[in-house]
Amino acid sequence: MADDRTPSPAELDFLAGVDSPTVANALERLALRDRRAGYLGGRIRCNFPELGTMVGRALTVTATDAVGRAADQSGYWELWERLEAMTGPVVIVMKDASGTPHRVAYAGEIMTTLAQRLGAVGIVTDGGLRDVAEVRANGFHYFSRYTVVSHANFELSAVGEPVLIDGEQISTGDLVHGDANGVVLVPWEALDALPGAVEAVRAGEARDLAYLASDDFILAGYRQQRSYGATPSPSA
Ligand SMILES: O=C([O-])CC(=O)C(=O)O
Ligand SMILES: [Mg+2]
């Protein structure tokens, strides 16, 4: 669906300059989806908060840990071929299907160096990753549930198929935005209106913070002028 659309350099620049919670709040204002959808929950941690914002299009992969047999290598090479064929920054989104994600690292320094070479900027997974010092030094984003010392007998079982991570369906081509706070999915149809919505979020927060810092502050006054989260939810 979104596979063939690529963000323009201007759109990428804009998205890189906004933190993920502000993107989430701006999307909330646009009311394009349920407020409780469109992001990954905090079980998937940002491993390298100091790297700042990650923006890219998803390339989805399902990963598992082969038991009692040699791992099949075909998905591994399919991943790199598929990545090479994509344009613009890519975020590899890896769904764990092993059932034991705390026991297997799905990528490390070598894989991510190759991934970077082929246009990826980060990996998001509900499984494990490793070689954290080297990957951090390379400026490659990691969002994961675990760090794991061994790659066990990992196998990439499906490449490019939609995945379900933390209850969110993610498809190859979807726009992914992440930082120290977590990962939010940006619907393509939001892109044109997003700068205005971000401006409105920032202005509202600045107004609130100014009032909270002012000598005139009283709770009743804040209640009257509060702008944070001002857009009512559809169910309110
Ligand atoms: O060995 C692996 O498959 C993962 C890893 O540590 C690397 O890519 O360096
Ligand atoms: Mg390694």
| Residues 26, 30, 34, 39, Cα dihedral to 10° | -30
Residues, the chain, total? 236
Please give the pLDDT value at position 4: 73
Q: Binning pLDDT at 50, 70 and 90, where does residue 228 land? A: confident
20 CA distance to ligand 1 centroid (A)?
A: 29
40 CA distance to ligand 1 centroid (A)?
A: 25
Please give the pLDDT value at position 227: 76
Tell me yes or no: is domain 9-190 CATH 3.50.30.40.
yes
DSSP conformational letter for 32: -
Across 66-70, 218-222, 230-234, least confident range: 230-234
pTM of the predicted model, to two decimals?
Answer: 0.94
Please give the pLDDT value at position 82: 98
Domain boundaries, the chain: 9-190, 194-225
* H or E segment and range at residue 92: strand 90-96
Q: Among all chains, which residue has been given the structure tokens 């344009």?
A: 87
List the residue whose alpha carbon is closest to atom 7 of ligand 1.
Answer: 108
Work out the mean pLDDT of the chain and round it to a whole number. 95
Q: Binning pLDDT at 50, 70 and 90, where does residue 137 land? A: very high
Check whether 224 has a pLDDT greater than 80.
Answer: yes
Would you say the CB of residue 151 lies under 6 angstroms from ligand 1? yes
**Is 172 exposed, middle or buried (CB count within 10 Å of its CB: 0-12, 13-18, 19+)?**
buried
Query: CA-CA distance, 212 to 207, in Å (whole number)?
Result: 9
106 CA distance to ligand 1 centroid (A)?
A: 7
Residue 218 CB-half CA count within 13 A = 4
Long-range Cβ contact pairs of 219-227 (< 8 A, separation 24 or more): 227/203
Q: What is the mean pLDDT of residues 196-208?
A: 96
Using one digit for the tens of pLDDT, what is the confidence trace for 142-166?
999 999 999 999 999 999 999 999 9
List the residue whose alpha carbon is closest to atom 5 of ligand 1.
Answer: 108
Q: What is the ipTM of this complex?
A: 0.96
